[in-house]
Chains A and B, each alone.
Chain A
Amino acid sequence: MKKSEKIAGNVANYVDERTGAAKWLKKNLTKVFPDHWSFMLGEVALYSFIILLFSGTFLTFWFDPSQRDVVYNGSYTPLADVKMSAAYASALHISFDVRGGLLMRQIHHWAALLFMAAMIAHLMRIFFTGAFRKPREANWLIGVGLVTLGIVEGFLGYSLPDDLLSGTGIRIAEAILQAIPVVGSYLAFFAFGGAFPGHVFIPRIYTVHVLLLPGIFLALITVHLMLVWYQKHTQYPGPGRTEKNVVGYPLMPVYMAKAGGFFFIVFGVTALLGAVASINPIWLYGPYTPGQISAGSQPDFYMGWLDGLVRMSPPLETHAFGHTISWNILIPGLIVPGILFTGMALYPFIESWMTGDKREHHLLDRPRNNPNRTALGAMSLAFMLVILINGGNDLIATHFHLTINQIMWFTRIAVFVVPPIVFVITKRLCLSLQRADREIVLHGRETGRLVMMPNGEFVEVHEELSAEKKFTLTQHEQPQALEVPTTDRSGVRNPQGIKGKLRARMSQAHVEQVPAPSQEEAKALEGGHH
């Protein structure tokens, strides 16, 4: 026995005699994970979270989360002798007087953007492939929670340096709080310890940013991964893959090496971005004061849609009985986002209700094979994209020589017009893709090879697909629409009322499909012109 084997044996023995873990470990080290590039999106999110923990901890060693007034005397001369908060001064200190400090700040910021982008891409993958279906609804809810908290965490993070740009963001957040009916002014005064900006907000959000929210993230991510582990990963349809199995590579060694290596790659990419791509150059903005502002004030992209929504809102306020309600803030700032995120969270339950499908699903849908869901997703994305564009309307105006008014009016109209159009186009596109699948299963792949027949006619040679490919293209279900019971047993008409009708209508839209070709159809064609 080699020495290393002996040591490994001793460790395993030590652990097993105290926990009895050998059996569990044996089973789980050979656990199978299916392989697909789109399964890496969630991994990217997880790894960028770990990078955020590392780089963030580094930053806390020098960052001073305090709004006490100091006079700057560090090595960035353009701000010499300027009065500012200790938070901003220490952020400048990290950027200019700590070796690698600017690099870590930029890695932290890039990793935060990557964290959000990866979570959103992962969420889209889950949505479009139907991975949220039973039994994974709980994990979908956790995921929606993580995205929501990620937005808050990111906002708090870029607010901490207390520069002119981030202070403006805090001012807007304060206005949203203040706009809440009845309790708004109280909430704002409690949050800020008095009038805006006060001296306590930065220290308070610091605790939330570095302790409370990361703690919640860790807990949610742990449960998220435990559920993935326990319920086993979903897989794309294909030969040999069924609802009853998982086909892929074992955790040890292939998946460990790939996932471990991938962590280093993600970390390396954020380090590369942090090294060469400047982000949030706070020294250019100056310290925050409520009387000043810089043109082109922009939040990070994951907040941009919200800002765009606020920008396009019509100027509506109600003044009655000595009170004011700011619809121009409440609707875009709280009500619409609330509806969007609630709808997203409830979607698995809505879909299951309208299809009546209560079965377990472990095989993913190809997005084209569920045209209605894919179209809904594309429609929501189109909505977000339009309002995100309006969030950057000032920059678009200056870059493309347009007026802000043109862009604002374009998006005000587009936000109602574009999403339904995208829905229809996407649905038609999915059905066309299904038709194309049907076509190549029945008639084979076009080879581009032309053959001249004895009678002078030219025909293109079609090549029959492999059995594997044919199966992949035809394995999906052909769901039936739910029927509305028109009368119940005692002869009452339409017993479920409007709800039943709505459900049947939605179910009908949801099952719209091009019939998948059957073997009989293929056989019938074989006897024909081929």
Chain B
Amino acid sequence: MSNEISKFQDPGLPAHQHRKSDHDPKAEKRAEQQVAILFLLSAISTVGTVASYIFIKPGKFVFLPIMGDVDAQQLFLGLGLAFSLLFIGFGAVQWARRLMPDEEVIAERHEFRSEDADRKDFVDTVKERAGTVGLGRRSLIKRSLGLALGLVGITPLVMLRDLGPLPKKQLETTSWAAGTRLVTDPGDRPLRPEDLEVGSVAQVLPFLAQGEERTLENIGKDAVLLIRLRPEEFQLDSKRLSWTHDGIIAFSKICSHMGCAVALYEQQTKHLLCPCHQSTFDVTRAAKVIFGPAARPLPQLAITVDSEGYLVAQQGFTEPIGPSFWERSS
């Protein structure tokens, strides 16, 4: 078998091969000119860049294959910049390849480990210096310093406290309450059951009183999806069925997995799909999860109509909407 003695010997660095430009003055001249031309091309490109900036009006489009219509000003600015940079790069690399010395050189490398004597010296020095401090003897100082250093890190943590308020019950509540009218988003128009055709979907939000502002925080909790099916298509227990009205069922639009808007409704299969992680919910079975990573159905909002015939909530959501959190009890 092979061992160290019989290994193939290192023949050493192969002999250097000279380039044509090393000994032929004509080739050398040619290489020099090539490099210069590349640098000049860069200069010309910069002139083109500046010209594009000044002379091409915004809003003009040119067609590029695959890319489609591209704004002419951005395109020529970019091309000018690209070529002015690329040609400097090509020139420099060509210069190095053709004209600079290309003979490989050897540098020695040394093991990093210091001489044993130096290492011992170092250890002795450390021991001696440490000895003058006498940490080993002064355990009172050592311990109190440890305590101080351990505690000092608390300050920056405490000072971050005012980054935000405590969550309190905010994750568990929405603006929906008994009798809140469902209004369209966008438009804020109240809805009657007959506004929704069988098979259609609408995004709704709670009615907003005069002078109130709708915030993104509210939309992030209140967004609800209305879907109208034929009443016989539901496979619900009697309680959940009583939460629907004439084939209209309402779910929180905020995904119970990670809070994306569950916006894709497949009319044929009556499935709701979240575009973020593909959790799929069956509308006919109270948004039961039938595929994907979501672990809970979308919370259902109980709805009915008020005396004027507009859709309203029977009550607020009976569970927190959106993604899970530690304090969530179900």
Contact = CB atoms under 8 A, between A and B. Distances in A.
Contacts of B286: none
Interface of A: 31-32, 35, 75, 96, 99-100, 102-103, 106-107, 135, 168, 171-172, 174-176, 178-186, 188-198, 200, 231-232, 239-240, 242-250, 253-254, 257-258, 260-269, 271-272, 274-278, 288-297, 307, 310-317, 319, 322-326, 328-329, 332, 360, 362, 393-394, 404-405, 408, 441, 467-468, 470-471, 474-475, 478, 515-522
Interface centre among B53, B104, B112, B277, by most A CB within 10 Å?
B277
Contact of A261 (B81, B89, B185): B89
Contacts of B100: 253-254, 257
Contact of B104 (A103, A249, A292, A323): A249
A310 B277 contact: yes
Given A260-B92, A360-B112, A317 B324 contact: yes
18 contacts: A102-B74, A103-B77, A190-B160, A193-B164, A242-B10, A248-B104, A268-B87, A271-B81, A275-B82, A288-B216, A291-B185, A315-B294, A332-B293, A468-B14, A478-B2, A517-B8, A518-B7, A520-B6
Nearest to B330: A319
A405 B293 CA distance: 12
Given A276-B75, A471-B8, A471-B9, A99 B53 contact: yes
B167 A185 contact: yes
Nearest to B59: A75
Contacts of A249: 102, 104-105
B43 interface: no
A293 B276 contact: yes
A200 B165 CA distance: 12
Interface in B84-114: 84-93, 95-96, 100-102, 104-112
B258 A292 contact: no
B82 A271 contact: yes
Contact of A264 (B14, B78, B85): B85
Given A240-B12, A257-B100, A262 B278 contact: no
B260 interface: yes
A179 B253 contact: no
A17 to B, nearest CB: 28
Contact of B220 (A184, A185, A197, A325): A197
Interface stretch (B64-72, B119-127, B241-249): B64-72
A277 B110 CA distance: 49
Given A103-B77, A197-B216, A264-B85, A278 B253 contact: no
B275 interface: yes
A311 B278 contact: yes
A195 B217 contact: yes
Contacts of A518: 1-3, 6-8
A264 B111 contact: no
Contacts of A260: 92
Contacts of B260: 168, 171-172, 293, 297
B323 A329 contact: yes
Contacts, number: 344
B109 A250 contact: no
B276 A168 contact: yes
A193 B205 CA distance: 24
B96 A261 contact: yes
A324 B324 contact: yes
B202 interface: no
B134 interface: no
B109 to A, nearest CB: 5
B256 to A, nearest CB: 9
B38 to A, nearest CB: 10
B328 A264 contact: no
Contact of A193 (B2, B79, B163, B296): B163
Nearest to A476: B7
Nearest to B9: A471
Contacts of B68: 278
Given A172-B260, A175-B322, A394-B278, 16 more contacts: A181-B326, A184-B325, A186-B167, A196-B220, A239-B12, A242-B10, A245-B107, A258-B92, A265-B93, A278-B68, A295-B264, A315-B289, A393-B278, A394-B275, A471-B11, A518-B8
Contact of A254 (B96, B167, B294): B96
B253 A291 contact: yes
A178 B196 CA distance: 36
Contact of B170 (A190, A195, A253, A288): A195
A171 B77 CA distance: 36
B83 interface: yes
A371 B53 CA distance: 55
A475 B67 CA distance: 50
Nearest to A243: B109
B2 A232 contact: no
Q: What are the nearest 8 A-B pairs in CB distance?
A: A275-B78, A261-B92, A268-B86, A264-B89, A240-B13, A290-B220, A265-B89, A268-B85
A267 B108 CA distance: 34
B277 to A, nearest CB: 5
A182 B275 contact: no
Interface string B12-55: 11100000000000000000000000000000000000000100
A105 B259 CA distance: 29
Contacts of A322: 327, 329
Nearest to A308: B277
Contacts of A325: 324, 326
Given A171-B259, A291-B220, A293-B260, A184 B326 contact: yes
B1 A515 contact: yes
Contacts of A295: 263-264, 275
Contacts of B90: 261, 265
Given A257-B100, A261-B91, A272-B86, A291 B293 contact: no
A394 B279 CA distance: 12
B276 A239 contact: no
Nearest to B172: A185
B293 A311 contact: yes
A439 to B, nearest CB: 15
A118 to B, nearest CB: 16
Given A239-B12, A518-B3, A291 B93 contact: no
Contact of A275 (B1, B81, B160, B295): B81
A316 B330 CA distance: 13
A244 B71 contact: no
Interface centre among B13, B64, B90, B257, by most A CB within 10 Å?
B257
